[in-house]
Amino acid sequence: MGMKLLKLLLILAFFMGCKDNGTDPEDNKPLLSGIIPIDNSNQIEVVTWNVERFPKSDFSGFCLEILLEGIGADIYLLQEVSNGDSLAKVVGNLPDYAYFLLSNSTGLKLAIVYNNTVVKLRSTAEILEQDDYYFASRPPLLAKIEWENNSVTKELSLINLHYKCCGDDSIEVGNDRDEEFRRVKANELIYNYINNELAAENVIVAGDWNDAIEEPQETNVFQVFIDDNTNFQFADMDIAQGSADNWSWQGWSSSYPAIHFDHILINRNLFDEYGNNSVVSTIKVEEYFENGNSDYDTYLSDHRPVYLQFSP
């Protein structure tokens, strides 16, 4: 076989191998529609959202970008960001938003994404890092922000957290290997930190707390906050005590039943705002996907976001 003929055959083979088979990756993108915004120019919206090892699929960034913009909240506190570059790409496509990402040794990072037309990020800090064992090696993120709109200003101290998972629904007091006891200790640490360092500030603590707040006292890891209802309140308690259909974790691809894991805690300095036309709700984002929870769980997360909206 002549050299020229061999080259011609190799070129033909290459182009045949590259022939368009009629499938475009863009055609496989999940379809989202009907997204209901929660933004209100006279109110502050804080959303907590476990985005499950983001990005868990090739289309996680695409979905998150559409949802962040469509929901339109002022502040998103995200848990389980595995790839910071992927989050940077998403936020980079949203001209009104900026972000800060806090890394840790687990690779499941904490982030704040905020609308920089109304929110100024004043400072960020990793807190309680000396006790990171009780936080599953994910020390909380403290972000101090200033919200300003229509000549109204509000300063907030936001704590984003992600507690240790799992357990057997019993608390083995004093056993540092017990998951529930680690969450008890984490709550005590947060409680003391707020009282010692942030008592005069407007504090919101939000995240994936990995436990239920409506349990009886003997198994409730949040009792330190519940007992001190003069100074603290779980804004989402009504959700937890209500229908399981509205809980943040539905267990779509799990053998475990639904549970409300994702909570928003406020201190007494925000009690008046909480009582003034506030809204607290899960966002059933799976309803915005063509194939419902199957698509949402496959492409983005198994947690629903939970939000607090209030007038400053």
Per-residue tokens: 230? 């003069």
Please state, in angstroms and as integers, the Cα–Cα distance from residue 294 to each residue in 50, 79, 202, 286, following that order: 17, 21, 38, 8
The dihedrals phi and psi of 279, each to the nearest 5 degrees, come to -130, 135
3-state secondary structure of 37: coil
In this predicted model, which residue has the larger pLDDT, 143 or 11? 143
pLDDT at residue 19 tops 60: no
Mean pLDDT of the chain: 93
What pLDDT, on a 0 to 100 scale, did the predictor assign at position 47? 99
Q: pLDDT tens across 229-243, in order? A: 999 999 999 999 999
In this prediction, residues 155-160 reach a mean pLDDT of 99
Q: pLDDT tens across 109-125, in order? A: 999 999 999 999 999 99
pLDDT at residue 10 tops 60: no
Pairing of strands 75-81, 44-54: parallel
The rounded distance, in Å, linking the Cα atoms of 7 and 311 is 72
Collect all residues with Cβ–Cβ distance below 8 Å to 14 and sequence separation of at least 6: none
Q: Set out the domains of the chain in order of their start, with CATH numbers.
A: 44-310 (3.60.10.10)
Pairing of strands 97-102, 109-115: antiparallel
What pLDDT, on a 0 to 100 scale, did the predictor assign at position 28? 82
Sheet holding 232-234, edge to edge: 119-126, 141-149, 152-162, 203-208, 262-267, 232-234
Q: pLDDT tens across 134-153, in order? A: 999 999 999 999 999 999 99
Closest C-alpha among 45, 207, 49, 228 to residue 139: 207
Per-residue tokens: 291? 């194939």
Chain position carrying tokens 């920089």: 116
Position 153: which residue type?
T
Confidence of residue 1 (pLDDT cuts 50, 70, 90): very low
Burial code of 40-53, b = ≥16 C-beta within 10 A, e = fewer? beebbbbbbbbbbb
pLDDT at residue 11 tops 70: no
